[in-house]
Amino acid sequence: MSKRGEVVCVTGGSGCIGSWLVHLLLDRGYTVHTTVKNLNDEKETAHLKALEGADTRLRLFQIELLDYDTIVTAINGCVGVFHLASPCIVDKVQDPQKQLLDPAIKGTVNVLTAAKAVGVKRVVVTSSISAITPSPTWPADKVKAEDCWTDVDYCKQKELWYPLSKTLAEKAAWEFAKENGLDVVVVNPGTVMGPVIPPTLNASMLVLVRLLEGCTETYENFFMGSVHFKDVALAHILVYENPSASGRHLCVEAISHYGDFVAKVAELYPEYNIPRLLKDTQPGLLRAKDGAKKLMDLGMQFIPMEQIIKDAVESLKSKGLIS
């Protein structure tokens, strides 16, 4: 069901996923309000203003996730909201409450409160596989799916602040939706890679850069499968436009191990010093080709891992970030 001509808001539009989503929404004829942290920072704005259709159908707003008034200004006049803005810091978290938890959780509630106030019809919240895993008590013989949740106590114990922030933010979204009768659907992307539109990289692309430089990290608590930027953006539009879409939607081309991903990179790019890792880098994670069955049932056809890697590596080369 096309909603061409509608006005929608994308929070966090300057990021790698956000830029792709804004690009595809403009392609489909939507008018887009998108938010950035700093309107005067060309690294946040220039690539958005350069998108086709941006000159007539894109408006940029500066928001602060903990400042409700800035958010309601951006959402005002919109019938749909895509909430992507959330801090992503995996390494060296100094103050988890201030850097990650407050912006993720309170920011999500602020966006949903504003959406409810202005009469938005549907909100798509970008969560993560980090709200599904790590889940160490999940049955070893059962494929992890949308009914699996990250273990909050385990995250606190291991100081895994990013998965904790995504899990608590998503739980807050579901609680708000239930209490306030707001139509919310969620997308849970895996490790997102591919052609990068902004000048800066997301955490997932940095994983690939490190790998190509020989890093032997296995991301035991952070990997469940890869997915293309374009597919994550399409998944958001698909669940927004499809009235039957409900609940959470795991968004990976397949549930796989980081070891599978590393082996494929080594096969495609033997000229790099790719480390040899164990095949099973995610203990207890069952592989599944149709892990994203809910999205597939809505018509999603995922770009395969090989193409994701090729597109990502070519993008890194074109930006001069790898040789």
List active site positions: 166
Where do the DSSP E strands lie in the chain? 7-11, 31-36, 58-62, 80-83, 122-126, 184-189, 191-193, 226-228, 247-251
**What does the alpha-carbon distance between residue 297 and residue 239 come to, in Å, rounded to a whole number?**
11
Angle separating helix axes 229-241 and 16-27, nearest 10 degrees:
50
Peptide bond into 304 cis (omega under 30): no
From residue 36, how far is each of 18, 19, 49, 231, 245 by CA, in Å? 10, 11, 12, 22, 28
From residue 99, how far is each of 93, 94, 180 by CA, in Å? 7, 8, 28
**What does the alpha-carbon distance between residue 315 and residue 323 come to, in Å, rounded to a whole number?**
11
Sequence-ordered list of residues with C-beta below 8 angstroms from that of 181, at least 6 positions apart, any chain: none
Which neighbouring-strand residues pair with 10?
34, 82
Residue 301 CA, chain-centre distance (Å), reads 18
Contact predicate 281/275, CB 8 Å: no
Helix, strand, or coil (residue 23) = helix
